[in-house]
Structure 1
């Protein structure tokens, strides 16, 4: 299933690093940066998270809530947040429910080997819960600039 700009962002309920359950609708009235990334503590994902961290004030000023999401566990997310001093929550999606809703669990290929994994994709969701933008070619080291352009 592929989502498009102008569609309503799929509602979901999932746990964040604290074990607390959140819903997308909890953020109605705010703009949400929902970014899907493959794995905690890997070079590209760390670069992306740190770019968002380093520019967090600018994102807040622009009215955004930042939520990262991967299939890692809550415990893995806690460690990643502590290690990188991330000021935003990370959603744990081990059963891939949210990935499947957003079409980000895809077949990938590395060294000729096919496998399933997370497509690094960011959804910008407006105050009404509509998809405003989908960033599929994420530049990990300049991701905030892509969001705020």
Structure 2
């Protein structure tokens, strides 16, 4: 896993939905990171913990923005799923469709997971605080879904 002070290679292309009502766009991930940014990684839209994680970000979004940070959430979901999800939860930040786990690879945060007796690999549920160049300023490697917004604010206060 990349550490504070290291820079992520964000040159890969993704599909992005920039909030409720926005149409998907294809762009380089690095073009989304134009300044201080929080990147929150979750597995799937419309699942209990992931919904709580995003709802907590929505609840604390104003405070995160007041500190000068943009928010991006990344999952394996399709851009079409993200369009519906942004509207459902009132999400006003970018949702990135990353079915190939390119962000997780860039962060060196692909881990082995187990669910229902099945073992597979996937991105670590985590949050990454980046500067405008992709340099890691902080990492939350154990996301508390219900308190994720507060976790992010705490990390930002520690920078």
Does the alignment reach a TM-score above 0.5? yes
Which of residues 129, 144, 148 in structure 2 aligns to 1:143? 148
Distance 1:44 1:10 in 2: 28
Structure 1: 5+ residue stretches without partners: none
Which of residues 61, 78, 82 in structure 1 aligns to 2:87? 82
Show the counterpart of 2:37.
32
Per-residue displacement from partner, 1:64-106 (whole Å, max 9, x unpaired)?
Answer: 1100011110001111111111111100012222332223332
Aligned partner of residue 99 in structure 2, secondary structure? coil
Please report how far the alpha carbon of residue 60 of structure 1 lies from its aligned counterpart in structure 2 after TM superposition: 0.7
Aligned positions, number: 148
Please report how far the alpha carbon of residue 14 of structure 1 lies from its aligned counterpart in structure 2 after TM superposition: 1.4
Show the counterpart of 2:98.
93
Show the counterpart of 1:114.
119
Per-residue displacement from partner, 1:114-138 (whole Å, max 9, x unpaired)?
Answer: 1223320111002443101111111
Alpha carbons of structure 1 residues 3 and 82: separation in structure 2 relative to 1, 3 Å:
same
